[in-house]
Structure 1
C-alpha cells in the first residue's frame, strides 16, 4: 500500500474484498509503533456488526476505496480484539497468521522483525 497516504483519509472509505464485494467502511487505522506507517485497518462490516482487522499491506487504495486481496469470509472471521485499543505484538502475530502473511516480510529498513525481537539468531 502507498505509505505516503494520510491514514485519516482512509477513515470512512468503503472497503472491498478481492472479488469486489463490499465488506464495509474503514473505521480506524493502526500505525506501526516503530515506523509510524499505517499497518492495519479496522473495517466496520455492518450496521450492528463488529470491526474486522485487515492488513494494509498488500491492500491497495484505489479510486477512493480500500481493496483488500482476501475473501470476505476470511476477513469477517479475523480475530476480534475490539477497536480503539493498541494492538499487542501477539495480537498482530495472530492477525498475520490468520491472513497467511509472513510477519517478517516487512519493508526494507524496518527494525521490528518479530523473529529478531523474539531473540532468534539470524
Structure 2
C-alpha cells in the first residue's frame, strides 16, 4: 500500500477488485502492531451484509477508490472473522492462507506469526 496514505482516510471509500467490479465500502483499516502500516481493510461487501478482510499490501488508492489485486469471488469467500476487534495471529494466518500470501523465510506456505490487527485510530496497550 502507498505509504503516504493516512489509514483513517480510507474509511468510507469504495473498493474495487482487480477487474474493476465493485466490492463494497471500507469500514475499518487494521494496522501492523510493530510498524503501524495499514495491513488489512474490512470491506462491507453487501454479500449478506458482512465485512470481508482484504490485504492492503498490493492494493492501490487510485482516483479516490481502493483497487485490490484479487477477484471479487475470492474476497466474497474470505473467512468471516467479524470486525471491531484485534485480529489474532491465528486469524491472520487464516486470511493469509485464503489469499495465498507467502512471506520469506517461513516454512511451508504459512506467513510468520506476526501480530496484526489493531484498528486505525484505536489506542494500543
Report the TM-score when normalising by structure 1.
0.83
Paired residue total: 109
> For structure 1, which runs of at least 5 residues remain unmatched after alignment?
106-112, 118-122
Asked if the contact 2:2/2:60 (under 8 Å) is kept, the reply is yes
Alpha carbons of structure 1 residues 115 and 10: separation in structure 2 relative to 1, 3 Å: closer
2:45 is matched with 45
Runs of 4+ in 1 over 4 A off after TM superposition: none
Whole-Å Cα distance in 2 between the matches of residues 5 and 54 of structure 1? 17
Query: What are the residue-to-residue correspondences of 1:73-92 with 2, within 5 Å?
Result: 73-92=73-92
- Offset, 1:35: 0.6
> For structure 2, which runs of at least 5 residues remain unmatched after alignment?
105-110, 116-125
Whole-Å Cα distance in 2 between the matches of residues 12 and 48 of structure 1? 19
1:114 is matched with 112
Asked if the contact 2:89/2:113 (under 8 Å) is kept, the reply is no
Whole-Å Cα distance in 2 between the matches of residues 116 and 10 of structure 1? 23
Q: Relative contact order, CA 8 A, sep 6+: which one is greater?
A: 2
Which secondary structure state, in structure 2, belongs to the residue aligned with residue 114 of structure 1?
coil
Query: What are the residue-to-residue correspondences of 1:16-55 with 2, within 5 Å?
Result: 16-46=16-46, 49-55=49-55
Alpha carbons of structure 1 residues 88 and 20: separation in structure 2 relative to 1, 3 Å: same
CA RMSD of aligned residues (A): 1.9
1:110 is matched with none
